[in-house]
């Protein structure tokens, strides 16, 4: 029986996690006092890895020793500002080493970092500051124009609104060691926000244990990331897919992470891969799709990649095959969520069925149930629930939504799935009307609301439709105020209107004019009937 014993020798308390790989699934045991920053950061140094590269950027490398010192300095800097145990710190920071210092420094000192999308507007930051009740906001300097007014106008008046430049300056004079806050494995550790179907984003609360579980079970157990690996994740750290792929898995394994501040694009990903030659690559299906198309005309040097993972939306079998043809390696699709923290059903190197999400990751239990909550037979579609040790404790301040989604340790994913005779899980879209477009949430009601603001539109409905690559994009059904307007120039006009008033990926790619929309007797739009082909 192989036992990995992770000791943080610098500590007075026992901060030992035992991952017993001799068991399937590996048993993970935590001591009663456990601060996860020690298990991720200090452990690497304690095990002799101080000189190994942890972070790699265009400016150079940061070793594990330097990382641990900067995490301690940042934790000390935050403590000196007067933060209290359990207080939230909104982190609006781009993918840079400072993200690591602030995040892990806060965790080590016992504060709760809340990493949020860096692309939002000031009204959104105001909402996030108020909803989280944060005591402080830390932002990348070039985001000041949106973050600062939002944070300053929040009713809870966060005591500290600081740029990473200011934090970095304060860190300089602080000690490079820090006693970890004596937290518990089930104590709140960090949050991520998930944009919901309707209304405002929800704070997803994760505890100290959760990152260990996803890293051990999926990062190392399923993907097999090792300390020699160089990892590049095209998704950003504030998205929990990127949070795992671009931060926690490589750190857990003692590997090297490549960081890029830019937003993901095929060009950015190719440049990063050619420059840093990663062995492990994480991307979303839409990005893989753009990359395989671009490879048709311009060959790129991708031979360093040994492991390629995909999540966020279903990976069409066609993109899997084209990528394999061009690079010789298989993409491992897996489904995860912010609430589960990471992937809980996945394909594996030695067990792949293209066009499916694979099989449950050992350590997670899943079930597919009908509307009465009873398990469905193989081949039948039902709602997917998951149970595992990394699922969120709750949605912050939202007991109704928590009660609906999290029951007896089970998490309702909201996804429709079937399982085939061989045990592979097949995605059948969402149970609600939500869409995942380029792995980002897309609410039909938001797009419909925008279309209804257009003077020529009487009614609008939006559903998802697969494009030629099999990737879902919004499609709109429009009842015009004046039937005579229903022509190509109105389509152009509506598309431009959406492009300039909504986030870039949300504009409808197809428009169909109809004389009426299918509705319930109470007047609600029945999008499922449009999906079934009515109104086409």
Site string for ligand 3UK, 282-321 (x = CB under 6 A): -----------------------------xxxx-------
**67 or 335: CB nearest ligand 3UK:** 335
Q: Whole-angstrom Cα distance, residue 73 to residue 174?
A: 5
Q: Does 215 bind ligand 3UK (CB under 6 A)?
A: no
Report residue 72 as tokens.
Answer: 């301690």
268-271: long-range contacts at Cβ-Cβ below 8 A with a sequence spacing of 24 or more?
268/234, 269/232, 269/234, 270/294, 270/300, 270/302
**DSSP 8-state code for residue 424:** -
**142 or 528: CB nearest ligand 3UK:** 528
**67 or 345: CB nearest ligand 3UK:** 345
User: Contact, 219 vs 231, CB < 8 A?
Assistant: no
Residue from 226, 300, 430, 531 that binds ligand 3UK (CB under 6 A)?
Answer: 430
Q: Does 334 bind ligand 3UK (CB under 6 A)?
A: yes
Binding-residue total with ligand 3UK (CB under 6 A): 23
**151 or 211: CB nearest ligand 3UK:** 211
User: Contact, 237 vs 118, CB < 8 A?
Assistant: no
Q: Whole-angstrom Cα distance, residue 329 to residue 349?
A: 10
**110 or 312: CB nearest ligand 3UK:** 312
Q: Considering only residues 52 through 81, tell me which ones interact with ligand 3UK, judged by CB under 6 A.
A: none
User: Closest separation between CB of residue 253 and ligand 3UK, Å?
Assistant: 17
Say whether 514 sits in a helix, a strand or coil.
coil
User: Closest separation between CB of residue 309 and ligand 3UK, Å?
Assistant: 9
User: Closest separation between CB of residue 462 and ligand 3UK, Å?
Assistant: 17
How many angstroms from the chain centroid is the CA of residue 350? 25
Q: Whole-angstrom Cα distance, residue 235 to residue 268?
A: 11
Backbone angles phi, psi at 470, to 5 degrees: 85, 10
Q: How far is CA 150 from CA 123, 130, 161, 330, in A?
A: 6, 10, 10, 43
Positive or negative, the Cα torsion across 39, 40, 42, 48?
Answer: positive
Residue from 43, 236, 342, 450 that binds ligand 3UK (CB under 6 A)?
Answer: 342
Q: Considering only residues 227 through 246, tell me which ones interact with ligand 3UK, judged by CB under 6 A.
A: 240-241
**209 or 436: CB nearest ligand 3UK:** 436
User: Closest separation between CB of residue 419 and ligand 3UK, Å?
Assistant: 14
Backbone angles phi, psi at 349, to 5 degrees: -45, -45
**DSSP 8-state code for residue 9:** T
Residues 6 or more apart whose Cβ sits within 8 Å of residue 101: 67, 70, 71, 73, 74, 167, 171
Site string for ligand 3UK, 438-457 (x = CB under 6 A): -x------------------
Q: Whole-angstrom Cα distance, residue 57 to residue 67?
A: 13
- Contacting range for ligand 3UK; rule: CB under 6 A; set: 13-21, 41-49, 338-346, 476-484: 338-346
- Contacting range for ligand 3UK; rule: CB under 6 A; set: 107-115, 298-306, 316-324, 332-340: 332-340
User: Closest separation between CB of residue 382 and ligand 3UK, Å?
Assistant: 14
User: Closest separation between CB of residue 232 and ligand 3UK, Å?
Assistant: 16
- Contacting range for ligand 3UK; rule: CB under 6 A; set: 16-24, 69-77, 337-345, 518-526: 337-345
Q: Whole-angstrom Cα distance, residue 117 to residue 224?
A: 29
Q: Considering only residues 167 through 206, tell me which ones interact with ligand 3UK, judged by CB under 6 A.
A: 194
Q: Where are the alpha helices (DSSP H) in 254-374?
A: 266-276, 285-297, 317-327
User: Contact, 421 vs 377, CB < 8 A?
Assistant: no
User: Closest separation between CB of residue 336 and ligand 3UK, Å?
Assistant: 3
Say whether 441 sits in a helix, a strand or coil.
strand
Instruction: Pick the closest to residue 407 from 375, 373, 433 (CA basis).
Output: 373
Say whether 395 sits in a helix, a strand or coil.
strand
User: Closest separation between CB of residue 310 and ligand 3UK, Å?
Assistant: 7
Site string for ligand 3UK, 344-363 (x = CB under 6 A): -------------x------
**148 or 280: CB nearest ligand 3UK:** 280
How many angstroms from the chain centroid is the CA of residue 174? 32
**334 or 508: CB nearest ligand 3UK:** 334
Q: Does 333 bind ligand 3UK (CB under 6 A)?
A: yes
**241 or 497: CB nearest ligand 3UK:** 241
Backbone angles phi, psi at 105, to 5 degrees: -60, -45
Tokens 């930051």 belong to which residue? Answer: 125
- Contacting range for ligand 3UK; rule: CB under 6 A; set: 12-20, 252-260, 330-338, 464-472: 330-338
User: Closest separation between CB of residue 155 and ligand 3UK, Å?
Assistant: 27
369's enclosing H/E stretch is strand 365-369
**162 or 335: CB nearest ligand 3UK:** 335
Q: Whole-angstrom Cα distance, residue 41 to residue 251?
A: 7
User: Closest separation between CB of residue 344 and ligand 3UK, Å?
Assistant: 9
**39 or 311: CB nearest ligand 3UK:** 311
Maximum C-alpha span of the chain: 78
Instruction: Pick the closest to residue 393 from 208, 167, 170 (CA basis).
Output: 208
Q: Considering only residues 405 through 424, tell me which ones interact with ligand 3UK, judged by CB under 6 A.
A: 413-415
> Which residue's CB comes closest to ligand 3UK?
336
Chain residues binding ligand 3UK by CB under 6 A are 194, 240-241, 311-314, 333-338, 342-343, 357, 413-415, 427, 430, 436, 439
């Amino acid at each position: 029986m192989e036992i990995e014993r992770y000791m943080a020798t610098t500590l007075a308390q026992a901060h030992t996690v035992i991952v017993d790989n001799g068991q399937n699934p590996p048993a993970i045991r935590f001591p009663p006092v456990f601060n996860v920053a020690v298990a991720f950061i200090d452990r690497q140094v304690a095990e002799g890895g101080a000189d190994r590269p942890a972070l790699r950027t265009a400016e150079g490398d940061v070793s594990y020793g330097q990382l641990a010192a900067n995490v301690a300095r940042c934790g000390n800097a935050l403590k000196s500002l007067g933060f209290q145990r359990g207080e939230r710190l909104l982190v609006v920071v781009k993918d840079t080493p400072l993200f690591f210092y602030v995040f892990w420094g806060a965790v080590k000192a016992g504060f709760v970092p809340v990493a949020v999308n860096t692309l939002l507007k000031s009204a959104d930051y105001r909402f996030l500051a108020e909803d989280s009740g944060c005591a402080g906001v830390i932002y990348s300097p070039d985001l000041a124009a949106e973050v600062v007014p939002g944070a300053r106008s929040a009713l809870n008046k966060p005591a500290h609104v600081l740029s990473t430049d200011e934090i970095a300056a304060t860190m300089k004079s602080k000690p490079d060691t820090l006693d970890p806050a004596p937290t518990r494995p089930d104590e709140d550790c960090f949050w991520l926000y998930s944009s919901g179907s309707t209304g405002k984003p929800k704070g997803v609360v994760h505890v100290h244990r959760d990152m260990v579980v996803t890293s051990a079970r999926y990062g190392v157990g399923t993907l097999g990331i090792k300390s020699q690996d160089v990892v590049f994740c095209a998704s950003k750290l504030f998205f929990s897919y990127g949070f795992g792929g671009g931060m926690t898995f490589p750190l857990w394994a003692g590997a090297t992470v490549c960081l890029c501040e830019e937003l993901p694009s095929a060009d950015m990903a190719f440049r990063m891969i050619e420059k840093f030659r990663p062995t492990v690559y994480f991307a979303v299906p839409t990005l893989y799709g753009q990359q395989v198309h671009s490879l048709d005309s311009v060959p790129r040097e991708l031979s360093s990649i040994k492991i390629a993972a995909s999540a966020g939306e279903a990976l069409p079998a066609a993109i899997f095959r084209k990528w394999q043809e061009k690079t010789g390696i298989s993409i491992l699709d897996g489904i995860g969520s912010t609430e589960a923290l990471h992937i809980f059903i996945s394909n594996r190197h030695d067990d792949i069925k293209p066009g499916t999400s694979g099989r449950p990751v050992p350590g997670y239990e899943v079930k597919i149930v009908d509307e009465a909550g009873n398990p469905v037979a193989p081949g039948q579609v039902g709602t997917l629930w998951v149970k595992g040790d990394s699922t969120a404790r709750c949605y912050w301040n939202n007991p109704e939504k928590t009660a609906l989604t999290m029951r007896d340790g089970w998490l309702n994913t909201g996804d429709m799935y079937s399982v085939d005779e061989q045990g592979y899980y097949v995605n059948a879209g969402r149970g609600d009307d939500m869409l995942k477009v380029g792995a980002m949430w897309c609410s039909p009601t938001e797009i419909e609301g925008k279309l209804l603001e257009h003077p020529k539109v009487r009614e609008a409905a939006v559903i998802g439709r697969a494009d030629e690559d099999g990737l879902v994009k919004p499609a709109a059904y429009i009842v015009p105020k004046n039937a005579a307007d229903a022509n190509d120039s109105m389509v152009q006009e509506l598309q431009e209107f959406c492009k300039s008033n909504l986030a870039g990926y949300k504009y409808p790619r197809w428009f169909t004019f109809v004389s009426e929309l299918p509705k319930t007797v109470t007047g609600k739009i029945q999008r499922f009937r449009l999906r079934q082909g009515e109104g086409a």
